[in-house]
A and B are shown apart, each in its own frame.
Chain A
Amino acid sequence: MAKKILVVEDDAVVASYLSDLFTDNGYTALVARDAETGLELLRSERPDLMTLDIDLPRSSGTILYATMRRDNELRDIPVVVVSGVSPRIKKGLPTLSKPVDATELLQVVADALK
C-alpha cells in the first residue's frame, strides 16, 4: 500500500507542488495549510511521514512539532522540515532549506521511511 505523506505548508503553490511531487512518485499526499489543521490530520489520518514548514500563519511549525512529540500516539511519525526560515529545530531532524531540490527531498523522505 502506498505510504501517506502529510504536507504542512501555507503557500498554496508550494503545497500543490509537494503534493504533486509525492503523488507522482508513488505516495499518497495530504495537505494542511496551517498548524491546527496539521495537528488534526496527524491525529485523524496517522500519516507515515510529515513534511513541515515552519513559517505558518497563527502558530509556528515549531509549536506543532513540540506538540506532536508530547503526544505518545504521534511522536514516532517521522518528520522532514521543509522551510525558508533557517535554524534547525532539533539536531538529527532532517531539515531542507527552501527552495528544495526535488531529488534530494525524495531521497530524504525515502530514507526517513525506511
Chain B
Amino acid sequence: MSKEHHGILWIAEAAPSVPVPDALRDEGVDVELAAQASPALIPGRGCIVFDHPFSETAEVAECSLRNPDVPIVVLEKADNRVRHAQYLRAGASVVLFDPLDPEVVALAVRSLLRFRRPVGGSPLQAMAESCRDLLDAAPCFLTVQDRDLRIVASNARFREAFGPGLGRFCHEAYKGLKDPCEDCPILRTFETGASHQVETVVTTRAGEEMNILVWTSPIRDDSGRVTHVMEMATDITRLRKLQDHVTSLGMMLGSMSHGVKGLLMSLDAGIYKVDSGLARGDDDRLREGWGLVKGRIGHIRKMVLDILYYSKPRPLEPRMVGVREFLDELVLTAEPRAREQRVELALDVAGDCGEFEVDRHALFSALLNFLDNAVDACRMADRDGEGRVVVKAERAGRIVSISIADNGIGMDQATIDKMFSLFFSSKGVHGTGIGMYVADYIIGAHNGDIEVVSAPNRGTTCIIDLPAVFDGNPPGADEDLPDDLHG
C-alpha cells in the first residue's frame, strides 16, 4: 500500500506564479492547489511548494515541524533574498527567488519527489501513510488519538463530517465538549490495552445529531506500550430510529394486549349467545348475542385501524382547558414519585391564566415528562431532601407560559443539544430516550416553543410557551410529521 509520493500541494495566495503545476500534471503528477497550508492537507504529500509565502518563514517552519518527512520548496520574491538561510533553517529543502525559471522549478520539485526522507521511527506514521487510501475509503469515521486525546490522524470521512481533526481534542471535535466524555472508551483502552465499545450521540459540524457506535483499538510502540488509540465510529442513526420505532410499537401493542384479550372474550360471549340462541330457538338470546357481536366487532375494527395508523401519530384533539386546573392535576400526578425521591413539588400560578386550547391528554403526557425529569435531576444530584421543583405559569396576552425549574444536576451544552433526540437519555438504564422526543413533538404540534436554561450543577429551567388559541396542526392533518414517522 505504500506510495512513493502522494502528489504535490502547491500553496499560492492567488494563482501559481509559474506554469509548473500544469506541466507536472501533464506528466501524470498529482498537483493540488491551496490558498493556505491547512494541516489536514499535508500528511502523506510528496512535496509542498510555498509559492511566495505570505507570512515569511513561520508557515514553512510550522509545516516542516508537523511533517518532517515532507520536503518543502519555497518560491520567494527577489527582495527577500536575505531570508534564504532562514528558510533553509526553518526546514525548506530548496529556495528559489524571482525571476523564476519554470524549468528550474519543475526540476527541483521532481528531484524532491524522487527523494523521500526516511520516516522517523514512529510506527504510527508509517502505518497511517501506507493505509491512507484504505482509511479514506472506509465507510466510517477513523481517528487516531494520543494520550491527551488529541487527534493525530483522521480519515477523509471524519474531516467531512466533523471538520479538520489534527490537533483538536476528540471530545471537542465530536461533541463540542471541553472535557473528555464520561466513560471515554479511548482512555479506557489506554488503561486496559484492550478494545472498547461505546454508543453515543455526537454533533456534526453542520449541527446535525448523529448516533454513533464507537470501537477503539490500541496502537503500540515496539516495546508494547500503548502510545495511541485508534477510534472507529459508525453512524447508526437510522438503525436506532428504526429500532426505537419498533420498540415503541412493541410497547404500544403490549399495553393494548390486555384490552384486546377482554375484547375478544366478550366477542366470544356474543358468539356463544348467538349459537345457543339459535340452537334453542331463543330469539331474545339470539338478538342479544348479535348486538354484542356487532358492537365488539366495531371496537376491534377501531383498534386495528389505530394499530395500522400507529406510524402516523393520532392527530391532536384540541379542547378548551383551564390552565390552573390542568396544572393542579399535573402536579397531583407527579407528587407520589416526587415524594418517594424526597423532592418538593410546588405550583405557582400567577393570577388568572384562564383557559387554553390544547389536546389535554397529549399535553399532559408531554409536561409530565418534563416534571418527571426535573424530579430525576434532583435525585441524580443527591440533593438529600433539598431537591425542589417549581412549576410556574403565567399568561402574556395570547401566550400561556409554563416553566418547570429544578435545582438538580443540570446539563452541559452538549447534553442540552441532544435532550430531545429520540434515543438519547442521560438516565442510563432508567431512561428510554423516548419521552422528550415525543414531548418535543407534541409541543411543536401545538405550535408551541421550548426554551431550556441549564448549567452543570446549577439546575435546569424548561420554559414551554403555548398559544392560548390552538394554531398548531389541525386535527386530521399530518403533513408536518417528522419523516421517519410516516407510515
Contacts and interface: CB of A to CB of B under 8 A. Distances in A.
Interface of A: 11, 13-14, 16-17, 20-21, 24, 55, 84-85, 97-100, 102
B272 A84 contact: no
A17 B267 CA distance: 10
B269 interface: yes
A85 B255 CA distance: 11
A35 B272 CA distance: 26
B262 A98 contact: yes
Interface residues on B, range: 10 to 19
B197 interface: no
A100 B273 contact: no
Contacts of B269: 13-14, 16-17, 20
A24 to B, nearest CB: 6
Contacts of B292: 13
A10 to B, nearest CB: 10
Given A98-B261, A99-B261, A13 B266 contact: yes
Contacts of B257: 84
A64 B265 CA distance: 23
A98 B264 CA distance: 8
Interface in B222-275: 257-258, 261-262, 264-270, 272-273
A17 to B, nearest CB: 3
A17 B265 contact: yes
A14 B266 CA distance: 6
B266 A84 contact: no
Contacts of A11: 262, 265-266
B276 interface: yes
Contacts of B267: 99
Contacts of A24: 276
A85 to B, nearest CB: 7
Given A20-B273, A24-B276, A84 B268 contact: no
Contact of A20 (B258, B265, B272): B272
Interface centre among B268, B276, B292 (most CB of A within 10 A): B268
A85 B258 contact: yes
A55 B257 CA distance: 13
Contacts of B276: 20, 24
Nearest to A12: B266
**Taking each of A14, A17, A102, which has the highest tally of chain B beta carbons within 10 Å of its own beta carbon?**
A17
Interface in B263-301: 264-270, 272-273, 276, 292
Contacts of A13: 265-266, 269-270, 292
A20 B285 CA distance: 11
Contacts of B273: 17, 20
A85 B261 CA distance: 9
Contacts of A16: 269
Contacts of A98: 261-262, 264-265
17 contacts: A13-B269, A14-B262, A17-B265, A17-B272, A20-B269, A20-B273, A24-B276, A55-B258, A84-B258, A84-B261, A84-B265, A98-B264, A98-B265, A99-B261, A99-B265, A99-B267, A102-B272
Nearest 3 A/B pairs, CB to CB: A17-B269, A84-B261, A99-B264
B297 to A, nearest CB: 14
A62 B396 CA distance: 53
Nearest to B273: A20
B228 to A, nearest CB: 53
B260 to A, nearest CB: 9
Contacts of A85: 258
A12 to B, nearest CB: 9
A87 B258 CA distance: 13
A84 B265 CA distance: 9
Contacts of B258: 55, 84-85
Contacts of B268: 17, 99-100, 102
A11 to B, nearest CB: 6
B124 to A, nearest CB: 57
A71 B479 CA distance: 62
Contacts of B265: 11, 13-14, 17, 84, 98-100
A11 B261 CA distance: 12
Contacts of B272: 17, 20-21, 102
Contacts of B264: 98-99
Contacts of A97: 261
A24 B266 CA distance: 18
